[in-house]
């Protein structure tokens, strides 16, 4: 049964502008739609795309591997609501299902436990009655509170006809709808305009934002990123959400860039913590009473400093697909033991949220008692990523695990532990991570 209750009549929208207005009223800042096929139904699920790149469209909960699945499968919950002109009801079982072996993403559980869902229009069509054409259109609205709003326009409706006429694709890809009003704006243009203004400031004193959002001086050597974030109004945080208008913004001052900084969730590090890990595998600096764990660890190549090797478990590098839902990035020691691991389920969420749209901004610095930064060109923009692209980049030797964890006051009663687990990539290799990549000189306009 698609629903635990008797279905109620589904209200309809007369046209696109009315639907967009309703979605905006409920907090949507992005609206898009998909032309459905006859295979899109409550039994076979709704096909959303042929790669994990589609995850950049939806705000989803923690990704979990599906135990016992025949093929490697991940699931992620959605805060999903069926919306009508005057109604809004949560579909409590809605989720994204990620089939790694294909790969593809489908929407599932969207009717169960929901009285106002469009049950009638999402029933499976027997093969003998299929005509090869459809006419249904499924609309999505993404809100600032990470909800997914949905409305299904049935075949033959005025709204479906209007959307099909406005569509510029017959491939089933999502079609964006413009949203007017104070929350609207081309985020890319707004970001570039602000970065151009920051470039025009010239040398900027090093700073960061405090918890109250106030700019305060910052004199440590890693001030390039903090200063840019302060100029953009971004408070330092460990959140996995994008920084500015839906864009992840990263400043860089050299040839290597930090991509993500996830802590291991398995291996010796995951079970014992960073302090124990550094004490076991780090380098002792007796005169400073410190231990460091550093080195640049590449795929299938022992590091000369630590003799440890980065590997991928459950990933077919030749095909570029995950073959095991319990797979992981693994750092093995010289004895073959798993010193640190990062599960794919943990990294999937982090990667797609952070890198759906990313801007990399170069800078030069002036080191003194009052350090300054100048933000320069070209600004590098990457759009539409896929977690498999990230794993492939590791397998090709482009991405390295380049940590900087340490323990200070090693022999004292209260040693200070600093965790710094980071994956880095050469600047020239960035394009392999994105479907679209641009280098823009903001002095020439955009």
Give the Cα separation of 5 and 2 in Å (integer). 9
- Residue 129 structural domain: 16-177
Spatial CA neighbour of 339 closest among 347, 330, 348, 329: 330
3-state secondary structure of 118: coil
* Residue 417, strand partner residues: 407
Query: Are both 305 and 437 inside the same structural domain?
Result: yes
Tokens (6 digits) for 95: 């989720």
- Angle, CA 429 vertex, CA 423 and CA 430 arms, to 5°: 70
244: Cα separation from own chain's centroid: 14
pLDDT for the residue 196: 97
70 within a domain of the structure (yes/no): yes
213 within a domain of the structure (yes/no): no
Q: What is the pTM of this model?
A: 0.85
Spatial CA neighbour of 334 closest among 313, 312, 304, 296: 304
Q: What is the DSSP letter of 432?
A: G
27 within a domain of the structure (yes/no): yes
277 within a domain of the structure (yes/no): yes
Q: Which of 177, 205, 228 is the last residue of a domain?
A: 177
Query: Are both 83 and 166 inside the same structural domain?
Result: yes
* Residue 364, strand partner residues: 374
Q: What is the DSSP letter of 421?
A: -
3-state secondary structure of 180: coil
Query: Are both 254 and 106 inside the same structural domain?
Result: no
Residues of the chain with pLDDT under 70: 1-10, 132, 169-172, 180-185, 237-242, 445-446
Spatial CA neighbour of 275 closest among 296, 294, 297, 291: 291
Query: Are both 20 and 154 inside the same structural domain?
Result: yes
Give the Cα separation of 414 and 409 in Å (integer). 7
Q: Which of 177, 196, 212 is the last residue of a domain?
A: 177
Tokens (6 digits) for 185: 């704006």
Query: Are both 60 and 168 inside the same structural domain?
Result: yes
Find out whether 224 and 253 touch, Cβ atoms under 8 Å: yes
* Residue 258, strand partner residues: 424
* Residue 366, strand partner residues: 372
Find out whether 280 and 403 touch, Cβ atoms under 8 Å: no
Give the Cα separation of 70 and 130 in Å (integer). 29
Which residue's entry shows tokens 């319990």?
Answer: 326
For residue 442, give every residue at least 6 positions away whose Cβ sits within 8 Å of its Cβ, in sequence order, or none: 192, 195, 196, 199, 377, 379
Spatial CA neighbour of 341 closest among 261, 269, 282: 269
Query: Are both 251 and 173 inside the same structural domain?
Result: no
Query: Are both 108 and 252 inside the same structural domain?
Result: no
Give the Cα separation of 234 and 227 in Å (integer). 10
Q: What does the DSSP assignment read for 96-115?
A: EEEETTTTEEEEE-SSTT-S
434 within a domain of the structure (yes/no): yes
Query: Are both 270 and 412 inside the same structural domain?
Result: yes
171: Cα separation from own chain's centroid: 24
Query: Are both 143 and 278 inside the same structural domain?
Result: no
* Distance linking the first and last C-alpha atoms of the chain: 53
Total length of the chain: 446
Spatial CA neighbour of 46 closest among 83, 89, 9, 80: 80
103 preceded by cis ω (within 30°)? yes
Assign residue 127 the CATH number of its domain.
Answer: 2.40.330.30
**How many other CB atoms are there within 10 angstroms of residue 151's CB atom?**
25
Give the Cα separation of 441 and 446 in Å (integer). 8
Query: Are both 163 and 277 inside the same structural domain?
Result: no
Query: Are both 156 and 42 inside the same structural domain?
Result: yes
Tokens (6 digits) for 379: 């600004």
Q: Which of 135, 157, 177 is the last residue of a domain?
A: 177
- Angle, CA 330 vertex, CA 329 and CA 333 arms, to 5°: 165
Give the Cα separation of 27 and 21 in Å (integer). 10
pLDDT digits (tens, 9 = 90+) for 86-125: 999 999 999 999 998 788 999 999 999 998 899 999 988 8
* Residue 316, strand partner residues: 321
237 within a domain of the structure (yes/no): no
Give the Cα separation of 422 and 256 in Å (integer). 12
Query: Are both 167 and 252 inside the same structural domain?
Result: no
The total domain count for the chain is: 2
228 within a domain of the structure (yes/no): no
Query: Rounded to the nearest 5°, which phi and psi values hold at 254?
Result: -145, -165
192 within a domain of the structure (yes/no): no
Assign residue 265 the CATH number of its domain.
Answer: 3.30.70.3570
């Amino acid at each position: 049964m698609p629903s635990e209750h008797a279905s109620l009549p589904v209200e309809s929208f007369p046209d696109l502008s009315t639907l967009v207005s309703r979605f905006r009223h409920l907090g949507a800042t992005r609206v898009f739609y998909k032309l459905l096929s006859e295979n899109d139904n409550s039994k076979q699920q709704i096909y959303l795309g042929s790669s994990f790149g589609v995850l950049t469209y939806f705000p989803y909960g923690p990704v979990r591997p599906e135990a016992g699945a025949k093929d490697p499968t991940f699931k992620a919950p959605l805060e999903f609501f069926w919306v009508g002109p005057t109604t809004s009801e949560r579909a409590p079982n809605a989720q994204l299902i990620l089939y790694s072996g294909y790969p593809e993403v489908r929407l599932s559980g969207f009717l169960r436990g929901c009285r106002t869902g469009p049950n009638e229009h999402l029933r499976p069509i027997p093969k003998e009655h299929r005509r090869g054409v459809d006419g249904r259109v499924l609309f999505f609205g993404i809100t600032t509170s990470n909800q997914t709003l949905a409305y299904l326009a049935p075949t033959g409706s005025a709204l479906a006809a209007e959307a099909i006429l406005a569509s510029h694709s017959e491939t089933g890809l999502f079609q964006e709808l413009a949203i007017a009003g104070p929350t609207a704006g081309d985020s890319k243009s707004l970001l570039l305009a602000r970065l151009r203004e920051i470039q025009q400031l010239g040398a900027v004193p090093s700073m960061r934002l405090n918890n109250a959002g106030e700019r305060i001086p910052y004199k440590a050597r890693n001030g390039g990123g903090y200063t840019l974030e302060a100029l953009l109004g971004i408070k330092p945080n460990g959140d996995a959400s994008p920084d500015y208008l839906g864009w992840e913004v990263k400043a860089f001052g050299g040839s290597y860039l930090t991509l993500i900084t996830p802590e291991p969730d398995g291996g010796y590090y995951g079970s014992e913590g960073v302090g124990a890990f550094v004490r076991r595998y780090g380098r002792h600096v007796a005169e400073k009473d410190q231990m460091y764990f550093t080195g640049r660890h590449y795929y299938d190549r022992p590091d000369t400093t630590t003799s440890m090797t980065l590997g991928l478990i459950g990933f077919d590098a030749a095909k570029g697909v995950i073959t095991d839902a319990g797979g992981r990035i693994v750092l093995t020691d010289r004895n073959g033991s798993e010193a640190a691991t990062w599960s794919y389920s943990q990294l999937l969420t982090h990667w797609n949220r952070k890198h759906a749209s990313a801007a990399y901004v170069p800078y030069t610095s002036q080191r003194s008692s009052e350090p300054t930064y100048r933000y320069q060109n070209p600004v590098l923009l990457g759009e539409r990523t896929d977690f498999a692209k990230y794993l492939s980049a590791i397998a090709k030797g482009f991405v390295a695990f380049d940590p900087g964890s340490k323990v200070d006051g090693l022999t004292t009663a209260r040693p200070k532990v600093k965790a710094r687990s980071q994956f880095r990539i050469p600047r020239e290799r960035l394009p392999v991570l994105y479907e679209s990549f641009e280098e823009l000189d903001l002095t020439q306009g955009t």
